[in-house]
Structure 1
Amino acid sequence: MAEDSDRNRVKTARTTFAVLEELKRRDGATVTELSDAVELSNSSVHNYLTTLEEDGYVVREGDAYRLGLRFLDFGGRARRRERLYEVARDEVTALARETGELANLLVEEHGRGIYLHRAYGEDAVGTDSHVGQRVHLHDSALGKAILAHLPRERVRGILDRHGMPATTENTVTDRDELFEELERVRERGFALDDEGRVKGLRCVAVPIVTNDGAVEGAISVSGPTSRFGDQRFREALPARLESVANVIELDITYA
């Protein structure tokens, strides 16, 4: 029964996208036109359109339907995400070259972190992460830099959905402890990972925040504990990262 329910949900989702794709292709269509195109009854297509209209994704004009302006929000967000990569890529690469370490750009999607860019300095160590990889947010400096600037309820939802698994003995797995740490991140402007995700690795990260307070992602520098003494780890690298983040934020806003 559960498998049948899952298949029905997948089929419903695919049909919804088929209807939307047809509306896009035709630049608007009637129920009958859509019914013929997606091979469903008029009543079924009408039900899909009614739900999409109620949620603001389509607009009815007489007998025809067209895509609603709510999709501008999605397109704008996707474009800004791509713009973040274009703006931050060279800055992150330069940061890796300057520090000699591993530099990263991470964004959040569906409550997980996704690496958009990684750059290796001359002395950078390899890790198990790669561009496009999805990771938890609670166990890394990058993730905590992002979580610290999301609404508290959103953070709770992410933790409810994805949990707080331990990847090392230093991983924060207590929710109250994590929220206390996120408060410190907001206060000082940067996040630290002291072997919380990878044993023997330290990482410093700062968020990329727009003028309206939205967190677009985070950048970081990571390296072995042997090269990340307290002064470099807690003072020099945070200051350098904040300077680079400021440049990226300005470029996103005004470029």
Structure 2
Amino acid sequence: MEKALQVLECFTTQQPELGITEISKMLGMHKSSVHNIVSTFVEKGYMEQDQVTRKYHLGLSLLRLADIVRAGLSLRQVALPIMHKAKEIYNETVHLAIEQDGLVVYLESVQPTDRSVARLAVGKRAQMHCTGVGKAILAYLPDERVKAIIEKHGLNRYTDHTITSETELMRELKRTRQRGFAIDNMEHELGIRCYAVPIRDEHGNVQASISVSGPAERLPVADAEIKAEPLIMMGMDISRKLGWQGY
């Protein structure tokens, strides 16, 4: 992995195109090793070869990753002040997550200092069917996309509360849409419950969510609809700040 990253870092605005021999000399790496790395990058779209010069330049797949980074930065900047507000209201851990390749990726986490809290490391990935943030996003994806995610990642069981049936998951996602928020009822970790709401981008697409997580006794299911109201409003606020005008 380190050698592959070193190859990528050889490319600059001053040197946008490089040949195998040039990269080999720059890194002191054997040409066969450079060729193997470059070939993999070309196969995945991260590099392209000019058919005239036979040199290589960075590919369009890197633009897709750059777009994800830019979107994540913008989302963080908008969401972070509201996440702190949610922390003050609930006195629980607040997570911000996006969907990527059928998994949720945690972008940010804010936690109180005076309580036992549930915190997931920023950058951590998790399955969608068993997390509040995941179900808050899944609920607004087309059924075909949901089924494709299930086919790719499965419905693994993490606790006795995890939904492992596609039919039951689809029913739960319908309930999520009806009430406007998702509940992770100890489905990912025993003793931990969370409420989560969708975040829409300027086009109305749901690709992110925000959640409040904590010990199950502090986030009961019985009055979840009342307790989740401030979080629903915060999700709408973030969405509006991102350009969504549908609320």
Alignment of 1:101 onto 2:92: yes
Residues 129 and 155 of structure 2 are in contact (CA less than 8 Å); yes or no, is this contact kept in structure 1? yes
In the alignment, the residues of structure 1 paired with residue 89 and residue 17 of structure 2 have an alpha-carbon distance, to the nearest angstrom, of 53
Q: Which residue of 2 aligns with 1:142?
A: 133
Q: 1:80 aligns with which of 71, 75, 82?
A: 71
Structure 1's consecutive aligned runs of 4 or more residues displaced over 6 angstroms after TM superposition are none
Contact 2:111 2:119 in 1 (8 A): no
Matches for 1:40-119 after TM superposition, within 5 Å: 40=31, 44=35, 48=39, 52=42, 55=45, 57-58=47-48, 60=50, 62-63=52-53, 64-119=55-110
- Determine helix, strand or coil for the equivalent of 2:199: strand
Q: Is the CA contact 2:104–2:134 (under 8 Å) kept in the aligned structure 1?
A: yes
Q: CA deviation at 1:79?
A: 1.6
Asked whether the 8 Å contact 2:198–2:208 carries over to 1, the reply is: yes
Match of 1:175 among 166, 174, 189: 166
**Equivalent in the alignment of 1:252:** 242
Q: What count of residue pairs does the alignment treat as equivalent?
A: 240
Q: What is the TM-score when the length of structure 2 is the normalising length? A: 0.75
User: Whole-Å Cα distance in 1 between the matches of residues 44 and 183 of structure 2?
Assistant: 44
Aligned residue number for residue 18 of structure 2? 29
Query: Which structure dedicates a bigger proportion of its chain to helix?
Result: 1
Residue pair 2:45, 2:59 contacting (<8 A) in 1 also: no
| Runs of 5+ unmatched residues, structure 2 | none
Give the superposed CA RMSD.
3.7
Q: Is the 8 A contact 1:23 1:65 kept in 2?
A: no
Cα drift, residue 76 of structure 1: 1.8
Aligned equivalent of 1:199, options 190, 193, 214: 190
* Percent pairwise identity: 31
CA distance in 2, matches of 1:70, 1:130: 26
| SS at structure 1 position matched to 2:161 | coil
Letter matched to residue 250 of structure 1: R
Relative to structure 1, the CA distance from residue 200 to residue 82 in structure 2 (aligned partners, 3 Å threshold; closer, same or farther) is same
State the TM-score, normalized to the length of structure 1.
0.73
Partner of 2:122: 131
One-letter amino acid of the structure 1 residue matched with residue 39 of structure 2: Y
> Residues 208 and 248 of structure 1 are in contact (CA less than 8 Å); yes or no, is this contact kept in structure 2?
yes
Flag the 1:97–1:24 CA change in 2: closer, same or farther, 3 A: same
- Matching residue's letter, 2:233: S
Which amino acid in the other structure matches residue 50 of structure 2? R
Q: Give how far 1:207 is off.
A: 1.5
Q: CA deviation at 1:75?
A: 0.9
Gapped runs of 5+ residues in structure 1?
1-9
Q: Distance in 1 between matches of 2:94 and 2:119?
A: 14
Matched residues in 1 for 2:43 and 2:185: separation?
49
When residues 150 and 175 of structure 1 are mapped into structure 2, their CA distance, relative to the original with a 3 A threshold, is same
- Does structure 1 conserve the Cα–Cα contact (< 8 Å) formed by 2:20 and 2:31? no
CA deviations on 1:35-62 (whole Å, 9 max, x unpaired) are 6555426xx58x839x839948436374
Deviations 1:73-96 (A, max 9, x none): 321211211222222122112101
Please give the alpha-carbon distance, in whole angstroms, between the structure 1 residues aligned to 2:141 and 2:180. Answer: 14
Equivalent pair of 1:24/1:67 in contact (CA under 8 Å):
no
The answer to whether the Cα contact below 8 Å between 1:99 and 1:121 also exists between their aligned partners in 2 is no
Return the offset for 1:154: 4.2
- Give the superposition deviation at 1:110: 4.3
